[in-house]
Amino acid sequence: MTALNAAGRYQGWADPPLSAEGEAQAVALRGTLSSEGIRPGTVWTSDLRRARRTAEIAFPDVPTRPDPRLRELSFGAFEGRSHAENLRMHGGAYRRWLRDPERRSPPRGETLGDLRARVREWLEELSTRGTMAVVAHGGPIAVVTARILALPPRWEVERGFRPAAATPVCARWSGEDR
């Protein structure tokens, strides 16, 4: 959780720090993971500081591997603004993007297809063996989850993830599964 999350504003590639609530959520996540005996050998994370900090708190003794391909969707000109502010400031461009995020991007942002392509590229190159964790953002987590569980792409848009949500996915991943 960051101040932008709490205010209902788009974050995307903005890089605010975790709020006090976000730090507390990461500590709670660490407790839950510990009580469940979950200890990954590697933690992949977005290169944005809110994800890196969450990983540091939740997995203090586990090596992290930051990767910019795990960043949230770039909301471009919509970042830092609420839905109402974007309607007022960007009107038609904002509405067009809301109707078709797969093919339309915010000004200076990226499409959902762009996000999916970069996250899937990361997933296809993944060489981690054993148990791992991914600390990222709602968009990339939805793409990874949909890919592993063979869900339709529309699921990525319809499914929302709350900040600091834990989404356990167990999969045996090999070259044939990709």
Structural tokens at position 175: 């070259």
- Looking at residue 146, its pLDDT comes to 84
Q: Quick check: is 138 in a domain?
A: yes
Q: Angle at which helices 138-148 and 112-125 pack, to 10 degrees?
A: 60
- Looking at residue 177, its pLDDT comes to 46
Q: Quick check: is 166 in a domain?
A: yes
* DSSP for residue 68: G
Q: How many domains does the chain have?
A: 1
Contact between 130 and 38 (Cβ < 8 Å): no
**Mean pLDDT, contiguous 10-residue spans, the chain (178 residues):** 93 96 94 89 96 96 96 97 98 96 96 94 83 90 85 70 62 49
Q: Quick check: is 149 in a domain?
A: yes
- Looking at residue 167, its pLDDT comes to 64
124: nearest Cα among 173, 76, 158, 82: 173
Q: Quick check: is 105 in a domain?
A: no
* DSSP for residue 73: P
Quote the pTM value. 0.88
Q: Quick check: is 160 in a domain?
A: yes
Tell me the CATH number at 62.
Answer: 3.40.50.1240
- Looking at residue 20, its pLDDT comes to 96
- Looking at residue 110, its pLDDT comes to 97
Q: Quick check: is 104 in a domain?
A: no
Q: Quick check: is 94 in a domain?
A: no
- Looking at residue 144, its pLDDT comes to 86
Distance (Å) of CA 107 to CA 4, 78, 117: 20, 8, 19
Q: Give the span between the Cα atoms of 131 and 81, in whole angstroms.
A: 37
Starting at the edge strand found earlier in the chain, the sheet holding 42-45 runs: 64-66, 42-45, 132-135
